[in-house]
Structures are given as C-alpha cells and as structure tokens.
Amino acid sequence: RKPVTVNALADLRHRGERIVMITAYDYPSAQVVDSAGVDMVLVGDSAAMTVLGYPTTVPVSIEEMIMLTAAVRRGLKTPLLVGDLPFGSYEVSNEQAVSTAIRFVKEGGCDVVKLEGGGESAERARAIVRAGIPVMGHIGLTPQTATALGGFRAQGVTAERARSVLDDALRLQAAGCFSIVFEAVPAKVTKAIMPHMKIPVIGIGAGPDTDGQVLVYHDLLGIFDGFQPKFAKRWANMRSAMIDAVSEYADEVRRSAFPAPEHCYGIKQEELDQFIA
Ligand code: KIV
Ligand code: NA
C-alpha cells in the first residue's frame, strides 16, 4: 500500500469513499492500526487520559506528546500521521504555534498537526499552513477548553451555537486547513453544514454524514475504563481479556504451574556435572 497523503484524502472525499481515522499512542498500537488498514492515525492528546492517567487533556506537555508521536511514527508505514498540539502550545501567538508545529514534525515525525477551536485558532492554523505544515482543525466539543464550553456535552444544540459551529468550520476552511474534526455535534447540524464544506470532515459523535469517522483506540477496544461518551462504540473488551491473562499468570506462578519445562533453558549433563563438582 502507498503512504496516505493529504491529496489522497481529498480524493477519497471526492469519490464519496469514507475516511477511517483512529488514535494510537505507542509502537504496538501503531502497528495494529496500520495492519488494519486505516487511512489516518492521530496521536491524540486523549493520550493524557488513556495512557498517562491525567484527569483531562489539559495537563499533557509538548514533550510527552512528542515522545508518544515518535513511538507511533516508528510503528506506522501507510496511514497519514497526525500530531495533536496540546493545550497551551499554540494559543499564545502565531510564532508559538508555528514553532510548536515544527517541533512535532521534526521530533515527533508526524506528517500534519491538529489544533482545537475556531476563532483565534484559525489564525494559528493559517500561520502553520504558511510555514508548510498541513493543519487539521477540531471544533464542536473541544476537550482542551471544555470548561469554557460548559463541560463534556454536545455542542451546537441551539440555533445560535450551531451557527457558531458553522462559522468555525468556515473560518478553518478559509484558513487553509486540509480537514476538520467535528466532535459531539448533533447529526442534523452536521448534515446542514456539510454542503458548505470543500475539505474532508471527520466526525466523532457528529452523525453519519461526515466524510469519515475517528475514534479513540482505547474506547473501541474496551481498554479504557474511564468515562465513555455516547459516541464510543466498543468492538472488543480487551481490558477484561488483559486482566484475565495477568490473573492467570499470577495464579500459575503462585501454584508453581509456571514456568513449565518448555520455558526453561537446558545445559549439557557433563557441563552441569563439572559445575556441581
Ligand atoms: O485527542 C483525541 O483523541 C482527539 C480525537 C478524539 C479527535 O482529538
Ligand atoms: Na485531541
């Protein structure tokens, strides 16, 4: 398979083919999603919660995100790799946004970066695009600023708020974003916005009418036991499978059933005799 490019995603959209995106946070998860044939992989700042144990995405640092992004890079061949700029790493100025995005590309090895919000974020996106790095927007429920949005809840549920989702989408599109994530937007609001969009829209809790979908790896595999949003369908329950396996290991060690002979190294009898003598 050929590496997925920004242009290839636009082609998928033009052909009406759905785009598949998922998060990954380390080398093995990158290999899994690559083998499964997804189009785009996001090293989401959801890593703050799914793999680093923070209560929200707010505390995660640039350095932590770059370390995870670089690990995913090493496990990924085909999908487009999206780095997720963490809270506080791009809001201050265009200069800050561009230098953070450059670090993600150079040190993390991502192909493109993502940032949250419309408004000022559209100017940051424009500046990063001008520096030669493609940018993905993210609007609707933006977890980095969820407190200001009144918590983790659907966005655009009033006419006025739906209007601001549309405004944000148009601003990011005009700023040169190659794609936008819509998170937690009523399906009918998404449907009404889609005819205005010329770039691939990737939904998470935004209904069936976007050009593609994104989900968090740990949510769809059932690894994470924290809060499960309405849109997080589970295709597996890996957490209980992992707990079962580790429990069996503990049990076999405690009753001396492990290690068995096949897990032990041998030594020639004459060598052993000489050693013991
Ligand atoms: O961090 C993340 O996982 C995300 C996706 C849910 C879009 O931003
Ligand atoms: Na994110």
Do both 150 and 246 map to the same domain?
no
- State the pLDDT at residue 1: 86
ipTM value for the complex? 0.99
120 is in an annotated binding site: no
Asked whether 121 lines ligand 1 (CB < 6 A), one says no
Q: 247 lies in a domain?
A: yes
Do both 262 and 138 map to the same domain?
no
Do both 108 and 178 map to the same domain?
yes
Do both 177 and 53 map to the same domain?
yes
Q: Look at ligand 1, atom 3, and give the residue with the nearest C-alpha.
A: 44
pLDDT of 130 higher than 90: yes
In angstroms, the CA 113 to CA 239 distance is 30
101 burial class (0-12, 13-18, 19+ CB within 10 angstroms)?
buried
Q: 128 lies in a domain?
A: yes
**Cα–ligand 2 centroid distance for 115 (angstroms):** 8
Do both 178 and 57 map to the same domain?
yes
Do both 168 and 248 map to the same domain?
no
Do both 82 and 192 map to the same domain?
yes
φ/ψ of residue 217, rounded to 5: -45, -50
**Cα–ligand 2 centroid distance for 266 (angstroms):** 51
Q: 1 lies in a domain?
A: no
Asked whether 44 lines ligand 1 (CB < 6 A), one says yes
Which CATH number fits the domain that encloses residue 20? 3.20.20.60
Do both 23 and 138 map to the same domain?
yes
Q: Which one-letter amino acid corresponds to residue 222?
A: G
**Cα–ligand 2 centroid distance for 46 (angstroms):** 5
Asked whether 181 lines ligand 1 (CB < 6 A), one says yes
CA distances from 171 to 12, 50, 100, 139 (A): 23, 31, 21, 11
- Domain ranges, residue 250: 241-276
Do both 80 and 25 map to the same domain?
yes
- In this structure, which ligand is nearest to the CA of 216? 1
> pLDDT tens digit string along 52-93?
999 999 999 999 999 999 999 999 999 999 999 999 999 999
3-class SS at 276?
Answer: helix
Give the model's confidence band at 198: pLDDT under 50 very low, under 70 low, under 90 confident, else very high. Answer: very high
